[in-house]
């Protein structure tokens, strides 16, 4: 038994060493919303943590229906005076690390809607010229070119978002790919984004499994969440789906999942889906305070550790010392 267990231990160690050499693979699957709390740190420090693969800058909260678009980055900068152009440096710093940076449009509080197909075209043109690869004298975030647009549509009209997605996707023909992402509510289908998601144009969809009791973790049960996840992965033609969660118990009204439940009861199930892309967290400020994403990052290591069931004491072996080093690295 001892020799067999030591063999398992050696195999696990070399597996962990391989994981450490590609340690960014887990962080590549974590998406975070940034921009709604001035105490969350700037983009450069956020991306320097190595925890995230996607940054959603939140929010462009006024647009459409003939309105002058406005962005709100809480305490980070004042867009009305052009002060948010400084964010360009952070965007480039993140992109230089291989992190995709999106502009999130909509949000839970805002004044936005699309009144027609032509209105959707006008909004697409504005986004292209002011945040993507086009040109404008009034780019709110400066001259950095974002990687795509995130649809966090929770209010306003329920129509023409599919048209907006089509118009934005057409700009990919002009060179750099425009990524489209979305954050629908977990009740399926989403009342605002259902038609847009059915276009099949979205690369990543981070479903919000919080503030929605019928399809979230509640009362210690994961059943509703897992059932809803299965429906989303079998129904939405997106490249990858993400599990959207609050990064702390006070980050949302309901739906917080304790880390131990996430790692032991949810991730082992949803990771088996070919459409699983990772976890989305709301938001950077709460994650900064709780460290929730760092626990997700180590989940693959924790899953591997379950394969070791040894009857002898390993505390003083070289293996465990090296194992500890790999896990902490």
Active site residue ranges: 154
What separation in angstroms does the CA of 133 have from each of 56, 89, 106, 146, 222? Answer: 17, 16, 21, 8, 42
User: Which two structure tokens, joined as six digits, stand for 309?
Assistant: 């069931």
What separation in angstroms does the CA of 19 have from each of 22, 96, 273, 301? Answer: 5, 22, 21, 8
* Plot region of 204 (φ>0 → left; ψ -120 to 50 → alpha; else → beta): beta
Q: Under DSSP, is residue 303 helix (H, G, I), strand (E, B) or coil?
A: helix
Phi, psi torsion values for 299, nearest 5 degrees: -65, -35
b/e per residue 117-136 (b: at least 16 CB within 10 A): eebbbbbbebbbebbbeeee
Rg of the chain (C-alpha set): 21
| Strand extents, DSSP E, the chain | 30-34, 54-63, 70-71, 100-107, 111-112, 148-153, 179-182, 204-208, 240-246, 276-282
Full DSSP string of 162-231? HHHHHHHHHGGGGSS--EEEE--BSSSSPTTTHHHHTTT--SEEEEE-SS-GGGS-BTTB-HHHHHHHHH
Peptide bond into 59 cis (omega under 30): yes
Q: Rounded CA gap, 201 and 179, in Å?
A: 9
Let me know: does 199 contact 165? Beta carbons within 8 Å.
yes
């Amino acid at each position: 038994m001892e020799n067999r267990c030591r063999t398992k231990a050696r195999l696990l160690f070399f597996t962990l060493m391989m994981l450490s050499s590609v340690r960014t693979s887990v962080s590549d699957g974590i998406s975070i919303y940034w921009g709604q709390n001035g105490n969350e740190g700037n983009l450069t420090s956020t991306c320097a943590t190595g925890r995230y693969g996607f940054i959603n800058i939140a929010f462009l909260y006024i647009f459409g229906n003939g309105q002058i678009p406005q962005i709100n980055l809480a305490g980070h900068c004042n867009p009305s005076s052009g002060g948010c152009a400084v964010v360009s440096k952070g965007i480039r710093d993140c992109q230089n690390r291989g992190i995709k940076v999106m502009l999130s449009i909509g949000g839970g509080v805002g004044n936005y809607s699309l009144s027609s197909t032509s209105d959707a075209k006008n909004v697409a043109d504005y986004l292209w010229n002011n945040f993507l690869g086009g040109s404008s004298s009034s780019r709110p975030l400066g001259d950095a070119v974002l990687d795509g647009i995130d649809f966090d549509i929770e209010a306003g009209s329920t129509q023409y978002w599919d048209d907006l997605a089509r118009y934005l996707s057409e700009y990919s023909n002009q060179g750099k790919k425009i990524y489209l992402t979305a954050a629908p509510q977990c009740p399926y289908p989403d009342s605002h984004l259902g038609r847009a998601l059915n276009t099949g144009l979205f690369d990543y969809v981070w479903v919000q499994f919080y503030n929605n009791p019928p399809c979230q973790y509640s009362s210690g049960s994961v059943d509703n969440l897992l059932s809803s996840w299965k429906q989303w992965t079998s129904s939405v033609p997106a490249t990858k789906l993400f599990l959207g969660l609050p990064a702390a118990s006070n980050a949302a009204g309901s739906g917080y999942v304790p880390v131990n439940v996430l790692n032991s009861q949810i991730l082992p199930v949803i990771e088996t889906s070919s459409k699983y892309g990772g976890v989305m967290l709301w938001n950077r400020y709460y994650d900064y305070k709780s460290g929730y994403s760092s626990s997700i990052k180590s989940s693959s290591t924790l899953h591997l550790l379950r394969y070791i069931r040894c009857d002898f004491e390993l505390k003083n072996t070289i293996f465990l010392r090296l194992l500890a080093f790999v896990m902490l690295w």
